Chains A and B, each alone.
Chain A
């Protein structure tokens, strides 16, 4: 009888069970349902955080490893879950951001909340599963599950636009899934195993053309899901159609989960040397940089606030992918830090845009006139987060972009450095377009900014949770910008995992 690391299973089963309860919560009153959702997400966050705290020494020495095997541990195709420093970092930040999004959506969603939260927690469960799993087929299952569960959430507000966006999202997602399945089956037929660690050990035994096929199908699948340039049409539509918390989930969290899966596949499972050998890494690097540039340029012409934010996501994701493909320590540091920064900033931006756009007629730029006067503080937070994405000094966006730029310069990849700089300048232009529009028509407001700040007491009395979540995001961005050293230890240990996949392989295969 082995009680090994049951908490890994619990991390996946807890949100799934909560989803079933939520599905039947139409009889509950609002307050009970909301508090159940917040408490559930809080318990999840507590579990991950306690893993971090209780194993702090192990994490620091980067020999942290948890593993949970299901059933017969001596059988070769048993499913196992593993958590190393990289998974811990992603699990922690993803759960923290999802927790804040849950708090926001308890107030934002006012209709069919039971179905909304059921699907939301199912998405959380599949995210945790895809982060923790060490089995290829289970990874496929969780990726497909994420696609299937997010589709109804995209078409949550039933209009023609959202239905269209959801359909396109599902078409692209499932096509990517089919490619992923082909790759897995090819691996199984060649190596006779589904464990990532065993695949990693034996991948060199496959003949080179077959390696190329497997890698290309994996790349196609993940690049479709990431929305890299030639196949990015679905992303802005899907990310702008859904309710604001779901936009934050898709753009802020899910894209990073796909980046994590990319790292798992191409650093831990298939060694990065194979990509370099087959001349694919340079190709993906250039593709990602072009995608980044195109994302920023398209954001310039987007006339809807959320569409603009979604295109800007394409730009940032392309940049992160490009910097990861450099495969140096500095590049990983910049990339991982920018993953954290972009997760915070994009979620904050989408949430605040959701709050701002509740009072406007449409999301079109012409309807945003004077929005900065109506919600002063929220709009100021919006501007601060925007400055963060552009890369203004005291904020975390600056720090992460700085390290990305340094990594590009260190690798003497000047096109990459140019894209980082150009992206920032273009971003400045398109954010200014919206900000100037928001302050255009001056309306007579009864309260000045000072009065509003003074009336902080009244503000907390009204307990506007949505506003507080947005302020919290803003404060986090300022705080982490000043003290980004907090992330140094977890990121460095995660980089250790990326550079030494041997440790993961040995620990998984050794039981």
Chain B
């Protein structure tokens, strides 16, 4: 299925960036890419071709997309945003101490 393929490829690209890149900001981007891949997959997998789960006044709706995965994803996005902000804050602090955001040049991080 195409959705699964896109999810796995995006997830692996994110994981590769998280593991292999030495630039810390790129690592954060990789982590966010992983999260975004999961969220994309959740939304698109739960799409069964129905309408968005919002009633319209005066109309009877029969086929909805499942609203629960969307609500879960919203929670996940907020958590992802908080962690990304915290990580970037820590990188700003680290840059102040060591003058670089390269993982290999910061002593004690390259393993």
Contact = CB atoms under 8 A, between A and B. Distances in A.
Whether A and B touch (Cβ < 8 Å) is answered with yes
Contacts of A77: 68
B39 to A, nearest CB: 9
B34 interface: yes
Interface in B8-27: 18, 24, 27
Given A158-B93, A171-B87, A174-B31, A188 B38 contact: no
A340 B27 CA distance: 38
A188 B68 contact: yes
A479 B22 CA distance: 51
A155 interface: yes
B69 A163 contact: no
Nearest to B98: A160
B34 A163 contact: no
A169 B97 CA distance: 18
Contacts of B109: 164, 168
Contacts, number: 73
A163 B83 contact: no
B53 interface: no
Given A137-B75, A181-B38, A163 B97 contact: yes
A4 interface: no
Contacts of A166: 90
Interface string A163-182: 11011101100110110011
Contacts of A170: 83, 86-87, 90
A137 B82 CA distance: 17
Given A137-B75, A171-B27, A155 B87 contact: no
Say which size band chain B's interface belongs to.
20 to 34
A164 B82 contact: no
Contacts of B106: 164
A195 to B, nearest CB: 12
B30 to A, nearest CB: 10
A185 B87 contact: no
A185 B93 contact: no
B82 A178 contact: no
A148 B86 contact: yes
A158 B97 CA distance: 10
A304 interface: no
Contacts of B31: 171, 174-175, 178
A160 B108 CA distance: 11
A129 interface: no
B109 to A, nearest CB: 6
B18 A155 contact: no
A137 B35 contact: no
Interface in A133-172: 137, 141, 144, 147-148, 151-152, 155, 158-161, 163-164, 166-168, 170-171
Most buried by B among A152, A170, A174: A174
A170 B91 CA distance: 11
Nearest to B19: A175
Contact of A160 (B34, B46, B97): B97
A232 to B, nearest CB: 11
Contacts of B45: 189
A178 B35 contact: yes
A135 to B, nearest CB: 11
Nearest to B15: A175
A233 interface: yes
Interface of B: 18, 24, 27, 31, 34-35, 38, 41-42, 45-46, 68-69, 72, 75-76, 79, 82-83, 86-87, 90-91, 93-94, 97-98, 106, 108-109, 111
Interface of A: 77, 137, 141, 144, 147-148, 151-152, 155, 158-161, 163-164, 166-168, 170-171, 174-175, 177-178, 181-182, 184-185, 188-189, 233, 237
| Nearest 5 CB-CB pairings of A with B | A160-B97, A167-B90, A163-B93, A163-B94, A174-B83
